[in-house]
Amino acid sequence: MGNPTTPISFEFFPPQTPEGASKLTAARQLLAAFKPEFFSVTFGAGGSTQDRTLDIIKQIHAEGHNAAPHLSCVGSTRDNIRGLLNTYKDMGIKRIVALRGDLPSGMGSIGEFQYANELVSFIRAETGEHFHIEVAAYPEFHPQARSARDDMLNYKRKINAGANSAITQYFYNADAYFRFVDETRKLGVEAPVVPGIMPIVRYSQLARFSDMCGAEIPRWMRKTMEGYGDDVESVQNFGLDVVTELCEKLIAGGAPALHFYTLNQAKASIDILQRLGYRA
Ligand code: FAD
C-alpha cells in the first residue's frame, strides 16, 4: 500500500504485576517507533484500576508520548471523577476516553452517573475545552441497546454533550462500520469515528471477549479458526491476513485513523502495520 498516512493509536490495560509492567514498557518502546498519535490506558469500572491506570499514564507522559486515560463513570461519584480530571489536567494530559463501563456483578451501586453522555457533560462543565474527549461507538450496536436506532441516538447524545470523536468497539465486518458512519451522518453527527482494530492472537480468548461485548466474529472466520485447533501459528497467520485486509478496506474507505487494541503485546499490531506499509 505504499506509505500510509492514516494516523494510528494503541490501547493498553494497566498490568497487575511488576513483570507485566516491564513487558508493557518493552511493548510500548517497540510501538512508539511507529509514531502513534497517542497511547490510551483502560480504566476498570468502579475505579478498580484507578491507581494503576494513573501510574501507566504517568510513565507514558514522562516518556514524552501523548497519553490518553480512559475514564469510566459507573459506580463513581462526581467528587472522585473531579479529582481525577484535575490530576490529569495538572499533569498536562489533553485527551480522555470517556465511558460508562460495566460494573462487575455484585459490585456496589451505579453511583452518580448512569450513562457516558452524563460523564461527557460533566467533563465539559468542569474543565471546559481542555480535553479532547473520545467516546465509544458500536458499529454492531451495544448489547444493551433497545434497538439499532436507539443506540445511534444515544451515540449522538454523547457527541452533542461535547465529545470530539469516537473509537469503535472492534468488528471484522467493514460494512458495519461504513454503514454506522453513514447512518449517524444522516442523524447530523459529523464527529470522526475511528475504527478499533483487534489483532487476532488466540482464538479462544477472542471468542470469549466477543461473546461478552457483542462483537461478531463472522461464521466463516470462526469455522476456519476452530478448524486450526491448537495450531496457534495458523490462527495467527489467518488473523494477520484477515485483519490487514480489514484495515486496507477501512483506510481506502476513508477511516480517519486506526486504534489498535494491543492487549499489551506489540507483535500482532506491528505485523499488521508492516503489511500495511507503515515503517518504524
Ligand atoms: P453508554 O454510551 O452510556 O451506553 C451504554 C448503553 O446504554 C448502550 O446500550 C446505549 O445505547 C444505552 N444508553 C446510553 N445512553 C442512554 C440514555 N440516556 N438512555 C437510555 N439508554 C442509554 N470499559 C471499561 O470499563 N473501561 C475501559 O477503559 C473501557 N474502554 C473502552 C474503550 C472503547 C473504545 C470501547 C468501545 C469500550 C470500552 N469499554 C471500557 C467498554 C464500555 O465501558 C462498555 O461497552 C459499556 O457497556 C458501555 O460503555 P459506553 O461508554 O459505550 O456507555
Q: Which residues line ligand 1 (CB under 6 A)?
A: 42-45, 70, 72, 97, 99-102, 115-117, 136, 142, 144-145, 150-151, 154, 157-158, 167, 169, 196
CA of 160 to the centre of ligand 1 (A): 16
pLDDT score at 47: 77
CA of 173 to the centre of ligand 1 (A): 20
pLDDT band for position 219 (50/70/90)?
A: very high
Q: What would the pLDDT profile of 35-77 be if each residue is shown by its tens digit?
A: 999 999 999 987 778 899 999 999 999 999 999 999 999 999 9
Q: Confirm if 216 and 173 have CB atoms less than 8 A apart.
A: yes
Distance CA 234, CA 230 (A): 9
Query: Catalytic annotation on 11?
Result: yes
Task: Give the ligand 1 atom nearest the CA of 135.
Answer: 51
pTM as predicted: 0.97
CA of 29 to the centre of ligand 1 (A): 30
What DSSP line would sit under 240-272, residue for residue?
A: HHHHHHHHHHHHHTT-S-EEEE-TT-SHHHHHH
Give the Cβ contact number of residue 143 at 10 Å: 14
Q: What architecture is domain 8-276? A: Alpha-Beta Barrel (3.20)
Task: Give the ligand 1 atom nearest the CA of 101.
Answer: 43
Q: What would the pLDDT profile of 166-215 be if each residue is shown by its tens digit?
A: 999 999 999 999 999 999 999 999 999 999 999 999 999 999 999 999 99
